[in-house]
Amino acid sequence: MTIPAARRTVYLDHAATTPMLPAAIEAMTSLLGRTGNPSSSHGSGRAARRTIEEAREAIAAALNARPSEVVFTSGGTEADNLALKGLWRARLAEDPRRKRILLSGIEHHAVLDPAVWLAEHEGAELEWLPVDELGRIRPEAVQAAIDCDPASVSFVTVMAANNEVGTLQPVQQVAALAAAHGIPVHTDAVQAVGQVPVDFAELGVDAMTVSAHKLGGPFGIGALVVRRETKLVPILHGGGQERDVRSGTLDAPAAAAFAVAAEHSVLQQPAEAARLTELRDQLIEGVLKLVPQAQLSGDPAGRLPNNAHLSFSGCEGDSLLMLLDARGIECSTGSACNAGVAEPSHVLLAMGYDDQRARGSLRFTLGHTTEQADVDTVLDHIGPVVERALSAGLQNIRKVS
């Protein structure tokens, strides 16, 4: 009896998480058997502390920040919550007029949800910055929002790159506009680091969120890079670790792996971006040729090199996703945090897309494991998959009518 060879899974959901790098796995596993709390004063504790500080220095160097500006967290979501709630409470304590938070409707839910929570529970006034059809915030809209009453603005939060459509945002320009009025700016750079150059000092922001598992590091660890002079009220209280900004025992093995992933992704970024851009463009051009009704979403030029976001008229994104998955091709309909929720993408709706287009979209995101064969496989299957999804949609319409 001949046993068929296992089919290779085509993984094109790197924006959700990217496979750990072998060097990061090695760094982490080599430390898992060691004992020592980084806050302890004995030899084992000091060794763990040394691992933490060496990781902090490596991550800071990769992002052009000072080591003291890197505050370890449990991931991007905690870092975003710390930034928004910490900035809000610190700014309000200094001046009770500072109740306006400026943000856009395309932010990740790790930013949107704590902002809405602050509005519902602590009286924050959310002011939604408009985006254009490419998913891009206009600096002039930020300027106008600030100019109407600078003294009432708590802070501005603008993501560095959109996690769904891949559009890059003018963060440096926004930071410069806000700095002229002494208003702090936070950016969620989770999707940007390792994909495009990210320089914390050059961006001019006051706080920046990063996450290890988007870079080839482990789950469960990230960082908020925050300027020393920026005041944050902590949202966790306990041992006073991390400058008394984020209490909690630090994970030395995960920090070491995070550092390896950050160093590698930043060092390889120029070459990897060029490689992924070529593969991404082949994927986009191939799909648009094979499926005439398909449309590209996001900025065709100013986008992440690994992102191909496409909408398919007449199809449900969830149906396309499952049909591709049955053929061993893994992608996404949008943010992994909202997977399985039968609602149109808030990002696409904010960009002005109608409900149907917002529901009929797929996100393909490439990464360090992506090969030419992966792109070829998608192009081999996308036509029949769309035809089947369209046929299923027509059959459902006939049943309803």
For residue range 328-341, what is the model confidence (pLDDT) as tens digits?
999 999 654 555 55
pLDDT tens, 58-69? 999 999 999 999
Which amino acid is residue 109, in one-letter code?
A: H
Token digits of residue 368 = 């360090």
Cβ atoms of 14 and 216 within 8 Å: the answer is: no
* Percent over 70 (pLDDT), the chain: 94
Say if pTM beats, i.e. exceeds, 0.75: yes
The helix (H) or strand (E) run that includes residue 101 is: strand 100-104
Task: Give the Å distances, CA to CA, from 69 to 59, 158, 200, 219, 348.
Answer: 10, 19, 10, 21, 34
Token digits of residue 294 = 């398909």
Residue in 148, 315, 331, 337 annotated catalytic? 337
Which amino acid is residue 302, in one-letter code?
A: G
pLDDT tens, 209-237? 999 999 999 999 999 999 999 999 999 99
For range 73-87, the mean pLDDT: 98
The class (CATH top level) of 22-267 is alpha beta
User: Could you identify the residue written with the tokens 């933490």?
Assistant: 52
Residue 337 falls in the annotated catalytic set: yes
CB within 8 Å of 330: residues ≥ 6 apart: 9, 10, 11, 12, 13, 324
Q: In terms of Cα–Cα distance, which of 166, 357, 373 is closest to 279?
A: 373
Q: Which fold has domain 269-400?
A: Aspartate Aminotransferase, domain 1 (3.90.1150)
What is the domain partition of the chain in residue ranges? Answer: 22-267, 269-400
Token digits of residue 189 = 């750079």
The predicted structure's pLDDT at residue 7:
64
For range 242-269, the mean pLDDT: 96
For range 203-207, the mean pLDDT: 98
pLDDT tens, 110-167? 999 999 999 999 999 999 999 999 999 999 999 999 999 999 999 999 999 999 999 9
Q: Report how many helices (DSSP H) and strands (DSSP E) the chain contains, helices first.
A: 13, 12
Cβ atoms of 12 and 372 within 8 Å: the answer is: no
The predicted structure's pLDDT at residue 12:
98
The predicted structure's pLDDT at residue 8:
80
Torsion-angle region of residue 173: left (phi > 0), alpha (psi -120 to 50) or beta? alpha
Tell me which DSSP letter residue 130 carries.
P
Euclidean distance between CA atoms 369 and 380, whole angstroms: 19
Residue 399 in this model has a pLDDT that exceeds 50: no
Which amino acid is residue 133, in one-letter code?
A: E
Euclidean distance between CA atoms 196 and 348, whole angstroms: 23
The predicted structure's pLDDT at residue 341:
54
Which runs of consecutive H residues, i.e. helices, occur in 158-210?
Answer: 171-179, 200-203
Q: In terms of Cα–Cα distance, which of 59, 61, 44 is closest to 255?
A: 59
Residue 191 in this model has a pLDDT that exceeds 80: yes
Given pLDDT bands bounded at 50, 70 and 90, which one contains residue 252? very high
For range 9-16, the mean pLDDT: 97
Which amino acid is residue 99, in one-letter code?
A: K
pLDDT tens, 276-293? 999 999 999 999 999 999
pLDDT tens, 306-365? 999 999 999 999 999 999 999 999 999 965 455 555 678 999 999 999 988 989 999 999
Residue 71 in this model has a pLDDT that exceeds 50: yes
Euclidean distance between CA atoms 349 and 347, whole angstroms: 5
The predicted structure's pLDDT at residue 392:
73
Cβ atoms of 205 and 357 within 8 Å: the answer is: no
Residue 81 in this model has a pLDDT that exceeds 90: yes
Euclidean distance between CA atoms 216 and 227, whole angstroms: 25
Euclidean distance between CA atoms 183 and 146, whole angstroms: 9
Residue 331 half-sphere exposure toward CB, CA atoms < 13 A = 30
Euclidean distance between CA atoms 389 and 321, whole angstroms: 10
Cβ atoms of 260 and 105 within 8 Å: the answer is: no
Token digits of residue 244 = 């008394």
Cβ atoms of 161 and 343 within 8 Å: the answer is: no
Residue 401 in this model has a pLDDT that exceeds 70: no
User: Could you identify the residue written with the tokens 């049943």?
Assistant: 399
Residue 324 half-sphere exposure toward CB, CA atoms < 13 A = 28
Euclidean distance between CA atoms 11 and 392, whole angstroms: 25
